[in-house]
Chain A
Amino acid sequence: MASATRAPQSPLEKRYARLGVLLIAPTVLTMCAVIIYPLVSALYLSLFSIYTPTLKGHWVGADNYIRVFGSREFWSALGVTATWTVGTLAAQIVLGVGMALLLNQNILFRSLARSLVLFPYFVSTVVAVLIWRWLFNDLYGILSHLLIAAGIIAVPIDWLGKMPNAMESLIAVGAWKFFPFVVIAVLARLQTIPEQLYEAATIDGAGPFGRFFDVTLPQLREVLTIVILLRTIWDFKEFDLIYLLTGGGPVNNTRTLPLIVYQQAFGLNQMGMAATYAVAMMLVMLVFMLIYLYRARRAAL
């Protein structure tokens, strides 16, 4: 049997290959049913005009696409999505790298500090939004009161009801919720940087900032690229947080592409148009998805 395993294309090898296919079969079948079929279906639906309550519709061909790409809604939502993604991502990276550097030091009760920092990431978005809406409350919200007590502001702030406050609040809550992902990834990488690199840099006369820019940052480049790609993809498609916190308001100023898809399908009852928006959104995302796929595949080999 041992010799048979070494010989390629033996009957045993073929039997193993069959077993491998058998083991992956449930996965493939499930993925075809719940992912591939719906994906193809979305492409197909995007060529129809369908009324949601009756699910009756007719073929319109490329009309939906012409309407979507010709509409102000799409481009303004794309702009909002980009603002949200770039804003919250930048905040996550700065906060995440900073916090990881601090948590990599010798801190009292370090594992407790780490757990506390990580928790926002694991808490449900619904819970996060409820808490923040309570913090942002116009009458009893603690945030305005703390800022008044500190003498920073004179009257309570309307955090979510007007622009640009609503977008800034959204970005802040997004950063709070998702920065732990950056912390964990960076922290894991920091622990593998050899101490000698820092000793060498110190001997060469580098100060703390010099050591950060000459040693730490280059070592973090690889992991930061992956983290930025992943978070760009995830922030771009974020629905729950934005829908629950502002609902896209005030006056559609925080309405991102995923919100439009939902609104078209279940608010305006235009299933076909919704599918078109979804496909258009995916086309934009595809650039980042392909770069990530390429990098992740290369790293796996």
Chain B
Amino acid sequence: MRASRQQKSILVNLVTWALVLVISFPLIWMVVTSLRPQTELFQIPPTIIPRSVTFEHYAKLLEETPFLRYFMNSMVLATATTVVVIAIGTLGAYSLVRFSYRGRETLAAMVLFTYLLPSVVLIIPLYLMMVKLGLANTLTSLVIAYTTFALPYALWLLRSFMAGVPEDLESAALVDGASRMGAFFDVILPQALPGIISTALFTFILSWNEYLYALVMVNSDEVRPLTTGVMNMLITSFNIEWSLLMAASVMMSIPLIIIFAFLQSYLTRGFGAGGVKG
């Protein structure tokens, strides 16, 4: 009995890890390609393990392409969107969870509805709006456009995180003479902080990865974020330099890896609270 159980456990381990490696193979291949010298790239058949490792593609990426500018644009864009959305969303979620007034339920339903809305429906009027406001081709226009998906998403997440804070704590503060906003800053905010942080990180990821709005609203290299910028490098280059593109892909994923490490413990809670948008 024990032997067969052990055998089963070994089998489960092998099958699982084989699948995990197949699933992560594309990502491993991205890293391997980015480190491979150009000459090794164009050989048939390709070898799995590179014979030598080089960082020339990374150097070229930083020195000879507008990659760094795209990177900075994406940083500014994702940070600004996150700050705006979390500031508005935290107050809004608090209101939805703890106050009662007419229309609150309708509002909550609206938030959920907009959370499901396809951006392709909003993109035409938003584009026209930006042209009218004279904001076309600016990072500001993208921050505004990104709130369309980031705000309902953040509200939905924050709402469930705040609902998890025990109401007694707040009542106790109120009894002690704190004002409603005082209780919010002293009790709710610290209690909900882990939830707020993970919502902020998820929002950052969403904005960092967004493509369609950036494609439509921005068409100059000065303000292009990474998603459209890197794709542009693929389209405009005469012969496609795959190792350069793979290096760009690795660099583009680094902030995600860092955030991912932070998010590990929050991950399940975040998903449980309404999922990551995708």
Q: Which residues of A contact B155 (CB under 8 A)?
A: 27
Return chain A residues, CB-CB under 8 Å to B16. Answer: 102-103, 105, 107, 113
Residue pairs across A and B with Cβ atoms less than 8 A apart, 7 shown, are: A102-B15, A105-B16, A119-B260, A125-B211, A131-B246, A131-B249, A265-B124
Contact (Cβ within 8 A) B101 A185: no
B187 at the interface (CB under 8 A from A): no
User: How far apart sit A260 and B130, CA to CA, in the bound complex (Å)?
Assistant: 22
Interface 0/1 of A222-246, CB less than 8 Å to B: 0000000010011011011000100
| CB of A248 within 8 Å of the partner chain | no
Q: Is A271 an interface residue (CB 8 A)?
A: yes
Residues of B within 8 A of A (CB): 9, 12-13, 15-17, 19-20, 23-24, 26-27, 29-30, 33, 41-42, 44-46, 48, 88-89, 91-92, 94-96, 98-101, 104, 107-114, 116-129, 131, 144-145, 147-148, 151-152, 155, 171, 174-175, 177, 180-181, 205, 208-209, 211-212, 216, 226-228, 230-231, 234, 242, 245-246, 248-249, 252-253, 256, 260, 264, 267-268, 271-272, 275-278
Contact A119 B118 (CB under 8 A): no
A38–B122 Cα distance when bound, in Å, is: 6
Cα distance A132–B16 in the bound complex, in angstroms: 23
B interface secondary structure, majority: helix
Contact surface of A with B, Cβ cutoff 8 Å: 1-2, 5, 16-17, 19-21, 23-24, 26-28, 30-31, 34-35, 37-39, 41-42, 45, 55, 99, 102-103, 105-108, 111, 113, 115-128, 130-132, 134-135, 137, 139-140, 142, 145, 148-149, 176, 178, 181, 184-185, 187-188, 230, 233-234, 236-237, 239-240, 244, 258, 261-262, 265-266, 271, 274-275, 278-279, 281-282, 285, 289, 292-293, 296-297, 300
A140 B41 Cβ-Cβ under 8 A: yes
Inter-chain contact A130/B245, CB cutoff 8 Å? yes
Are B125 and A132 in contact, with the CB atoms below 8 A? no
Q: Min CB distance, B214 to chain A, in Å?
A: 10
A31 engages B114 (CB within 8 Å): yes
Whole-angstrom distance between the Cβ of B121 and the nearest chain A Cβ: 4
CB-nearest residue of chain B relative to A184? Answer: B271
Dominant SS among interface residues on chain A? helix
Tell me the bound Cα distance from A19 to B24 in angstroms: 50
Given contacts A126-B252, A240-B212, contact A28 B107 (CB under 8 A): yes
Is B128 a contact of A120 with CB atoms below 8 Å? no
A35 with B117: in contact, given A19-B99, A20-B98, A123-B256 (CB under 8 Å)? Answer: yes
B245 pairs with A42, CB closer than 8 A: no
Contact of A116 among B23, B107, B209 (CB under 8 A): B23
- Within 8 Å by CB of A289, from B88, B110, B116, B267, lies B116
Task: Please tell me if the beta carbons of A131 and B30 are within 8 angstroms of each other in the complex.
Answer: yes
A102 to B24, CA, bound (A): 16
Among the interface residues B96, B120, B129, B278, which one has the most CB atoms of the partner chain A within 10 A? B120
Bound-state CA distance A258–B123 (Å) is: 11
Minimum distance in angstroms from B4 CB to a CB of chain A: 13
B151 touches A27 (CB 8 A): yes
Write the nearest CB–CB distance from A168 to chain B, whole angstroms: 16
Q: Chain B residue with minimal CB distance to A137?
A: B242
B256 partner, pick from A111, A122, A125, beta carbons under 8 A: A122
Q: Told that A23-B94, A102-B15, A120-B23 touch, could you supply 13 new A-B pairs with CB distance under 8 A? A: A1-B175, A27-B92, A28-B107, A102-B12, A116-B24, A123-B209, A126-B211, A130-B246, A142-B46, A261-B121, A262-B123, A265-B123, A281-B118
Bound: A178/B275 CA distance, A: 12
Chain B contacts for A126, CB-based, 8 A: 209, 211, 226-228, 230-231, 249, 252
Q: Are A125 and B129 in contact (CB under 8 A)?
A: no
Chain A residues whose C-beta falls within 8 Å of the C-beta of B177 in the assembled complex: 1
Q: Compute how far the CA of A234 lies from the CA of B252 in the bound complex, rounded to whole angstroms.
A: 24
Known: A120-B27, A274-B124. A38 touches B129 (CB 8 A): yes
Chain A residues contacting B109 (CB-CB under 8 Å) are 293, 297
User: How far apart sit A34 and B145, CA to CA, in the bound complex (Å)?
Assistant: 7
